Amino acid sequence: MALTKDRPGGSPRSGRPRFPAGNRNPSAPRALPRWPRVATPWLYLAPVLVLFGVFKFWPTLWGMYLSFFEVRPYLGNRWVGWDNFSTAFHDAALRSAVEHTVVDALVTVAASALLGFGLALLLEGPARHLRILRTAAFLPVVTAMVAVAELWNTILYPGGYGTLNSLLGHVGLGPEPFLSSPHSSLASVMLIQVWKSAPYDMVIFVAGLAGIDRQLYEAAAIDGAGAWHRLRHVTLPSLRPVTTIVLTLGIIRGLRVFTEIYVLTGGGPAGSTETIVTYTYKQGIQNNQLGMASAVSTVLFLVTVLLTCLTLWWRRRKEA
């Protein structure tokens, strides 16, 4: 049996210095205590959390609180319980606004997702010209909604002064009241929403397409699958998580649409483009019914949270 001689001050074979049990190498870097390791990330997040708390969470909680009061500036708020909710739910104008909001959300979410997916299929890739085209297509998203609405207001202006009606007049077609008719105003507003939100969905789908393993396409091609079958059996199943994100964001965006409607039509003509948020704005700011406006906002917030949770639950159930 071979014997190994210990080196002075070292362990057998390795020659590493030996330290008594419970001691550590003084030259090794010391680990931070547990409290600083836990607190350091929160210190970096603290400024953002404070801003969110002041400008997001606190106004939301305060609005929920005001929904149970009749807000009377300088006179003191008066407790009314559920009366604000009851008054709002029995208002025919709110029911009409809910119908318009649901139609707007369903149409714009579906159209934006389909158009964004189509653009992603066309513009996905590492080529330089594709990157330039993706950047150009994304410009409507980063442009201020007020500027976009004013631009489209000029394009869709009724009579012969609007850009689109002027072009229609050159081909012998009469001017169309795109934004001034109750029959076409909501469709015109939804067209503008799709034009602005589809590039946003495109970017999300492009990120999802870039994450799909290319070997799946190669294996499908070897098995004789055509482009349609690769899209159906490889691309679409791989994009389910991304599609869930797109639909969730689209639902939230559709339920809180305000700026484009306020700038283009103000909820008219004859209430044909009134949505929940424009109705809330008019009740709270124009009619000084802050309690009822807070009640409607609270219900809209809870519905949005519920729909988001249901969408995420449906996604997890499909993945299970």
pTM score above 0.85: no
Taking the alpha carbons at both ends of the chain, their separation in whole angstroms is 58
When pLDDT is averaged across residues 59-83 and rounded to a whole number, the result is: 88
DSSP state of 4: -
Instruction: Please compute the mean of the pLDDT values over residues 235-263 and round it to a whole number.
Output: 89
Statement: residue 164 has pLDDT above 70:
yes
Local confidence band at 203 (pLDDT 50, 70, 90 cut-offs)? very high
Most confident of 10-24, 30-44, 46-60, 214-228: 46-60
In the CATH hierarchy, which fold is given to the domain comprising 79-319?
A: MetI-like fold (1.10.3720)
- Residue with the two structure tokens 């049990």: 21
Cis peptide before 241 (omega within 30 of 0): no
Cβ-contact 74, 302 below 8 angstroms = no
- Ranges of each domain in the chain: 79-319
* Helices and strands, counts by H and E, the chain: 15, 2
